[in-house]
C-alpha cells in the first residue's frame, strides 16, 4: 500500500492544512465535500491520490484519435479541432454529425458492439458524480482501458474509483477532477426501470420513488437542511437545560379530544389457516353469522310473499315464528363474536391508538425535571389534501414547569430565531442551491426572522385588523369565534412586516387542557405566525386547577375515566406550567421555500398513499 493510503485507518485530522486530503474514518474514501467545498475549489489538493465514491449524475464520452499517419498532421489537427467543438457545444456536435462531420470520431451509442473483427474504440469517459455531501459534483476521467463507457455512463451508476486529483483538463466550472487509475466498484443500473435515468422529474413525480429521490440534488439539499434544523433544535434545548424525553407513540389517551386517530390492532400476515374445529352438537357452534343473515333475508322475502298471497294465517304465523328464532340466533352469534374479539384478540387490556400528541405525557416529566422536550412522529387520521399536514407528522413538543404564558411565548420566539440563524449559517450551500432552483427569498427570510422582534397581538385584535381590510377579499369570512385560516395568517404577517404571535384564543378553538382566562371565554394559548408558511408554533399555559380541568373534560364530551392519570397531576403537587409544539415538517417548508410538506419529509404518509 502506498504512503498516500496510510491515513485511511487513522483518525481524520480535525484541522486539515490546505494541502491535506481529509480521509473518512469509516468508509476508506474521501468525502467529496472535503474536496469540492474548499475555498480554492480543491486546487490545493492537486497530485493527491484518493479513493472517491458516488453516483453518476451525468456523463459523456470523448473518442481518442488514433496515432497520426505520416503526412496526415494537418488532417489530424483539423479533426482535433472538430472534436473540441463537439465536446464544447452539443448543438454544433449534432450539426457536424448530420451535415458531413468526420464520422470516424463520433461518439458510439452506449451499449453498441463493435463490428466483428474490429478492435474496441479508444475513448475517455467523463463522469460527474455526487455522494450527497455537496451540491457540487466531482468530474472523473476514466480511460476505456480501465472500464468500458457502456458500464459507467448510465445515470445512477454507483462507482468507487481510485486515482489522482488534477486540474481540470477541460475548461468549465470544474476546477479539479480525478484521473481514475483503478475502478474498485461499479454498481450498474437498469436504464429501462431506473426512474431518474431518462428525464428530470418534478418533485410531485418523485414522490412515487421515495427510495431514489434523495439522489437528486434538490431533494438531497432539502433533507440536509432538515437535518440541520434537527441538529439546531436539539442544540437550542440542550443549551437551555431541557431534558429530552421519548413520549410514547402507542397510547390509550386521546390527547386532543379528537376522533381522527389511528387505532392499533394486531395482525399476523404469516399465520396459517386455522385448523377446523371438531363438530359440536350445538347447532349454533357450526352456524355462520353470514349464513344466518342470508337465511333471514330469505325468510323475510317469503313472509312478504305470504302476505301478498291468499295463504292461511297459520302459515304466516309459522313463518314469522321461524324468522324470530333465526333473529335470536343471529344476535347470539354476533354477541359471541364481539365477546371473543374483546377478550382474545386485544393485545393490550384496552383500546390503543397512535398518539396525536405527546404533550400530556410530557407534562408528567415537567413535574419532575422542570424543562423537558420531545421529538417524534405524531399521527392524525384526517382525510385531507392539505399541503401542511400528513398522516404522520414530526413534532417538537416542550413543557416548562413554574412558567406562564409569557414565558412560553418568549421561549418559542427565541427558538425560532435561533434555528433560523443556525441553519442560515450552517446550511448555506444547500440553501443557496435551493434559492437558485426555487424560492429566491429563502436566505433573506431566514435572516429577517432571526433578527426582527416578533409582533404580539390578541386574537380579538387580529380579527379587528382583518375586518378592516378593504384591499383584499378573503375566501373565509372572519369574525370572533372563527379559526384563522392560512390566508388570514398570511395577511397578518404581511401587514406587520414581521412574525406575529397571536394569543388569548376563544376556548372553543383550543384543546381541553389549556388554562382558562379570567374572562371565562378565552384561554391562555398562542400561535407563532411566520412568513411563507403561516402557523409554525402552537403553545399554551396548561390548566393546573383540578375543578376547571374536570369541567373542561366534561364540556368537551371526553370520558373522564380515561384521564384519571392526567388529573392526578393536578391532585398531587400541581404546578403552573406551559409549553409549545413546533410543526417540524412545516419548519422545513419555511427554511427551504417548498410549498408541499410531502416534499419535505423522507417518506411521506398521507391519505391514499403509503409507499415503501
CB-neighbour burial class of residue 228 (10 A; exposed 0-12, middle 13-18, buried 19+):
buried
Sheet of 352-354: strand order equals 250-251, 352-354, 263-264
DSSP label of 514: B
User: What mean pLDDT is predicted for residues 379-392?
Assistant: 81
pLDDT band of 492, cuts 50, 70, 90? very high
Topology (CATH level 3) of domain 3-64+122-187: OB fold (Dihydrolipoamide Acetyltransferase, E2P) (2.40.50)
User: What mean pLDDT is predicted for residues 34-47?
Assistant: 90
Average pLDDT, the chain: 81
Q: Which residue has the higher pLDDT, 80 or 176?
A: 176
Q: Which of the residue ranges 21-30, 339-348, 591-600 has the most confident prediction, judged by mean pLDDT? A: 591-600
Residue-level pLDDT at 198: 60
Strand partners, 54: 159
Residue 552 has pLDDT above 70, yes or no: yes
Nearest to 585 by CA among 518, 525, 535: 535
Across 473-509, b (16+ Cβ under 10 Å) vs e yields eeeeebeeeeebbbbbbbbbbeeeebbbbbbbbbbeb
Q: Which residue has the higher pLDDT, 303 or 204?
A: 303
Q: Which residue has the higher pLDDT, 403 or 338?
A: 403
Could you tell me the CA-to-CA distances from 326 to 192, 302, 334, 340 in Å, in that order? 60, 14, 12, 21
Residue 103 has pLDDT above 60, yes or no: no
Contact 568, 549 (CB under 8 A): no
Residue-level pLDDT at 202: 76
Residue 450 has pLDDT above 90, yes or no: yes
User: What mean pLDDT is predicted for residues 119-136?
Assistant: 86
What percentage of residues in the chain have a pLDDT greater than 90? 46
Copy the grid coordinates of residue 84: 473540441
Residue 540 has pLDDT above 50, yes or no: yes
Could you tell me the CA-to-CA distances from 584 to 280, 377, 471 in Å, in that order? 58, 10, 33
Residue by residue, DSSP assigns 396-409 as EEEEEET--HHHHH
Parallel, antiparallel or unpaired: strands 49-63 and 158-167: antiparallel
Compute the distance between CA of residue 317 and CA of residue 325 in angstroms, rounded to an integer.
12
**Domain residue spans of the chain:** 3-64+122-187, 217-264+352-610, 284-344
Neighbours of 76 (CB within 10 A): 14
* Backbone dihedral angles phi then psi of residue 66, each to the nearest 5 degrees: -70, 160
pLDDT tens track for 425-439: 999 999 999 999 888
User: What mean pLDDT is predicted for residues 99-123?
Assistant: 47
pLDDT tens track for 357-383: 889 999 999 999 999 999 999 988 877
DSSP label of 550: H
Residue-level pLDDT at 287: 55
Q: Which residue has the higher pLDDT, 91 or 23?
A: 23
Ranges 112-126, 202-216, 596-610: which has the least confidence: 112-126
Topology (CATH level 3) of domain 217-264+352-610: BirA Bifunctional Protein; domain 2 (3.30.930)
User: What mean pLDDT is predicted for residues 207-212?
Assistant: 75
Residue-level pLDDT at 344: 52
Ranges 70-79, 154-163, 506-515, 554-563: which has the least confidence: 70-79
Equal fold, 3-64+122-187 vs 217-264+352-610: no
Copy the grid coordinates of residue 431: 440553501
Residue-level pLDDT at 67: 58
User: What mean pLDDT is predicted for residues 188-199?
Assistant: 78
User: What mean pLDDT is predicted for residues 530-549?
Assistant: 95
Chain centroid, CA 440 distance in Å:
22
Nearest to 185 by CA among 53, 58, 59: 53
Ranges 50-54, 124-128, 187-191, 402-406: which has the least confidence: 187-191
User: What mean pLDDT is predicted for residues 55-59?
Assistant: 91
User: What mean pLDDT is predicted for residues 291-301?
Assistant: 80
Name the CA dihedral angle for 42, 46, 50, 54, rounded to a multiple of 10 degrees.
40
User: What mean pLDDT is predicted for residues 37-48?
Assistant: 90
Amino acid at each position: 500500500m502506498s504512503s498516500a493510503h496510510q491515513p485511511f485507518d487513522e483518525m481524520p485530522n480535525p484541522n486539515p492544512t490546505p494541502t491535506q486530503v481529509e480521509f473518512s474514518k469509516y468508509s476508506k474514501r474521501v468525502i467529496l465535500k472535503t474536496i469540492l467545498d474548499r475555498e480554492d475549489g480543491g486546487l490545493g489538493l492537486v497530485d493527491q491520490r484518493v479513493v472517491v465514491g458516488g453516483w453518476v449524475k451525468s456523463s459523456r464520452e470523448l473518442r481518442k484519435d488514433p496515432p497520426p499517419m505520416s503526412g496526415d498532421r494537418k488532417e489530424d489537427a483539423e479533426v482535433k479541432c472538430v472534436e473540441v467543438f463537439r465536446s464544447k457545444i452539443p448543438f454544433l456536435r449534432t450539426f457536424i454529425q448530420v451535415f458531413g462531420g468526420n464520422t470516424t470520431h463520433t461518439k458510439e451509442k452506449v451499449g453498441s458492439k463493435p463490428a466483428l473483427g474490429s478492435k474496441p474504440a479508444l475513448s475517455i469517459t467523463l463522469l460527474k458524480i455526487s455522494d450527497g455531501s455537496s451540491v457540487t459534483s466531482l468530474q472523473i476521467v476514466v480511460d476505456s482501458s480501465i472500464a468500458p463507457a457502456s458500464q459507467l455512463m448510465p445515470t445512477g451508476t454507483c462507482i468507487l474509483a481510485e486515482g489522482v486529483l488534477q486540474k481540470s483538463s477541460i475548461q468549465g466550472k470544474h476546477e479539479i477532477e480525478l484521473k481514475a487509475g483503478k475502478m474498485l466498484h461499479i454498481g450498474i443500473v437498469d436504464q429501462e426501470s431506473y426512474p431518474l435515468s431518462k428525464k428530470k422529474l418534478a418533485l410531485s413525480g418523485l414522490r412515487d420513488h421515495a427510495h431514489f429521490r434523495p439522489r437528486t440534488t434538490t431533494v438531497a439539499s432539502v433533507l440536509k437542511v432538515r437535518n440541520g434544523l434537527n441538529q439546531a433544535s436539539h442544540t437550542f434545548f440542550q443549551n437551555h437545560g431541557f431534558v429530552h424525553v421519548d413520549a410514547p407513540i402507542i397510547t390509550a389517551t386521546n390527547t386532543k379530544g379528537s376522533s381522527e386517530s389511528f387505532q392499533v390492532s394486531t395482525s399476523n400476515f404469516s399465520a396459517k389457516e386455522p385448523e377446523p374445529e371438531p363438530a359440536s352438537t350445538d347447532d349454533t357452534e357450526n352456524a355462520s353469522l353470514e349464513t344466518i343473515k342470508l337465511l333471514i333475508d330469505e325468510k323475510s322475502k317469503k313472509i312478504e310473499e305470504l302476505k301478498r298471497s291468499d295463504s292461511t294465517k297459520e302459515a304466516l304465523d309459522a313463518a314469522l315464528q321461524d324468522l324470530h328464532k333465526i333473529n335470536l340466533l343471529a344476535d347470539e352469534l354476533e354477541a359471541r363474536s364481539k365477546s371473543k374479539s374483546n377478550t382474545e384478540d386485544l393485545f393490550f387490556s384496552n383500546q390503543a391508538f397512535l398518539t396525536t400528541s405527546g404533550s400530556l405525557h410530557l407534562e408528567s416529566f415537567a413535574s419532575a425535571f422542570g424543562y423537558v422536550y420531545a421529538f417524534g412522529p405524531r399521527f392524525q387520521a384526517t382525510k385531507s389534501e392539505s399541503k401542511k399536514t400528513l398522516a404522520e407528522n414530526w413534532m417538537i413538543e416542550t413543557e416548562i414547569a413554574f412558567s406562564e404564558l409569557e414565558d412560553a411565548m418568549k421561549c418559542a420566539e427565541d427558538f425560532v430565531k435561533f434555528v433560523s440563524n443556525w441553519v442560515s449559517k450552517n446550511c448555506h450551500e444547500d440553501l443557496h442551491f435551493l434559492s437558485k432552483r426555487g424560492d429566491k427569498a429563502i436566505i433573506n427570510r431566514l435572516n429577517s426572522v432571526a433578527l426582527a422582534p416578533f409582533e404580539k397581538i390578541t386574537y380579538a385584535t387580529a380579527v379587528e385588523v382583518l375586518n378592516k381590510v378593504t384591499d383584499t377579499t378573503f375566501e373565509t369570512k372572519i369574525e370572533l369565534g372563527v379559526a384563522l385560516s392560512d390566508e388570514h395568517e398570511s395577511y397578518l404577517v404581511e401587514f406587520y412586516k414581521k412574525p406575529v404571535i397571536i394569543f388569548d384564543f376563544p376556548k372553543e378553538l383550543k384543546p381541553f387542557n389549556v388554562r382558562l382566562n379570567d374572562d371565562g371565554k378565552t384561554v391562555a394559548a398562542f400561535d407563532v405566525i411566520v412568513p411563507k408558511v403561516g402557523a409554525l408554533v402552537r403553545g399554551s399555559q396548561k390548566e393546573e386547577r383540578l375543578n376547571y380541568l374536570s369541567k373542561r373534560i366534561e364540556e368537551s364530551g371526553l370520558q373522564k375515566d380515561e384521564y384519571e392519570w392526567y388529573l392526578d397531576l393536578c391532585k398531587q403537587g400541581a404546578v403552573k406550567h406551559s409549553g409549545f409544539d413546533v410543526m417540524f415538517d412545516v419548519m422545513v417548508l419555511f427554511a427551504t421555500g417548498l410549498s408541499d410538506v410531502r416534499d419535505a419529509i423522507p417518506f411521506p404518509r398521507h391519505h391514499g398513499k403509503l409507499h415503501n
